[in-house]
Amino acid sequence: MPTVVREDSGNLEAKLTIHIHYADYQKALSKDIQKLQQEAQIKGFRKGKVPVSLVTKMYGTGMLIEILDKMVNETLDDYIQKENIVLVGQPMSLDNQTQYAFNPNSKEDYTFLFEIGFAPEFEIEGMDKSSVFHMVVPEITPEMVEAEIKKIQEQYAITSQTPPPYEDKDFLTFIARELEAPGILKPEGHSSKFSILFADATDATREAIGHLEPGNSVELDIFSLENDRDEQFVRRYLLQIDPDDPTETGHLFQLELEGATRRSPRQIDAEFLAELFESDEVQDEAAFRDIITGQLKNSYQQPADFVLAQDLKKFLMDCNPLPLPDDYLRRWIRSSNKNSDPRKLDDAYPEIIKNFRWTLIRNKIINNFKLGVSEQEIQNYFYGQISSYFGQLQGISMDFYHNMIKRMMQNEEQVDKAVEAIFNNKVFQAVKSKVTVIENPMELNAFLSLVEATEKSLEEGKQRLSIAKEEEE
């Protein structure tokens, strides 16, 4: 069977020499040639009667290369797993590798030379309760709570008929009849029914209708009822005339007020609280405000976790300055990106190394905590994504969600991204559970600026990596 000889060259680099003897591959090569000899259809020979020598001459070299390639890869993988080697990068063929002719009739032994870079053995430092982190969270002020409560009161406002005088948020509904002259209805003149918001009315209109009782009417230029409305808007939405309809009308109309409605914010009483919450635990305004405060805090939990996660990541990398095989990695990166500008690769190298170090630390955490990702967790992740897109829409059935999730589960790229995101969150929660986290309230705008700056810094790192590879793509 193939053998591997390892020769460490220092700085976490090693040369692997793989010896494959004729006896290691001869049986597989003979089997493949015989199989093809039975199936080959070559002009001048009946199926199954093609001479083995001819099959070997025509196809043997390709078969031999394929068999050796498979044996080399399997031998490398088996050796790396058996020796518990954590690779950094991938094995690279050495420049002084012998160039073989791969003659299937030569009974030749083969030697393949590779160099590898590997990670050092280490235990993670810094993951204990003596490590204290201040998790920035937005300060939830009484003004923020009050504004949120007002939004809820407006959302559940009660619409009712209202008498004059009218206010900005009132809707007034009119029956409009075209006039031939002041006080004279136009025979077979145009008529329509529409509503306007009192706040949108011009000053002259507001003065004319501000105290108008339902059933009473005024005569006004319908094209001048509201601010910033052009003729096209008036024809379509007030006169109810189709854009393709050539009907012409005058400007003067009798406007009879059919009624006015006002949305009144809900009062925070027992009836309203019972409507908002299924349980009877929330019975007064103080408890309601506590819930709103908690909801506001939770709404900023994700960005707060994001900032803390970056702080934890930087801290762990500072505490664990793992040595890496720099010379090997520079060669491997250039070899893997042959079409990229070497100067850009050199500029991106610090960011690449940072990613390598974090990957090693992250994988160590995953192994230490025995973290994994189940299919159900991936489906739940997709469900959360879909809900964030369509959650506000009414009438979406569970069948829709199930079908969407099924399609997403069939997309390998989407599944990989989901697994990565789930692992990242689990790693974050694992680290967070081992250190001491103290919440540090911060003014909302300052908090949002910090989140934005953190996102920008992360994006700049990704940009440095992508620029280094843009020629390769």
447-469: average pLDDT: 85
Mean pLDDT of the chain: 92
Q: How many CB atoms lie within 10 A of CB 205?
A: 21
> Who's near 415: CB < 8 A, 6+ residues apart?
378, 408, 409
Give bridge partners of residue 133 from the DSSP assignment. Answer: 437
Compute the distance between CA of residue 220 and CA of residue 179 in angstroms, rounded to an integer.
Answer: 10
Task: Give tens-digit pLDDT for 152-180.
Answer: 999 999 999 999 999 999 999 999 999 99
C-alpha torsion sign, points 231, 232, 237, 243:
positive
What domains, with CATH codes, occur in the chain?
3-117 (3.30.70.1050), 132-139+300-469 (1.10.3120), 158-264 (3.10.50.30)
Contact 102, 64 (CB under 8 A): yes
Measured CA to CA, the distance from residue 104 to residue 37 in angstroms comes to: 15
pLDDT tens digit sequence for 430-453: 999 999 999 999 999 999 999 999
Q: Is the pLDDT of residue 460 over 90?
A: no
Please spell the DSSP secondary structure of 10-49, one letter per residue.
ETTEEEEEEEE-HHHHHHHHHHHHHHHHHH---TTS-TT-
What number is the average pLDDT over the span 345-366? 92
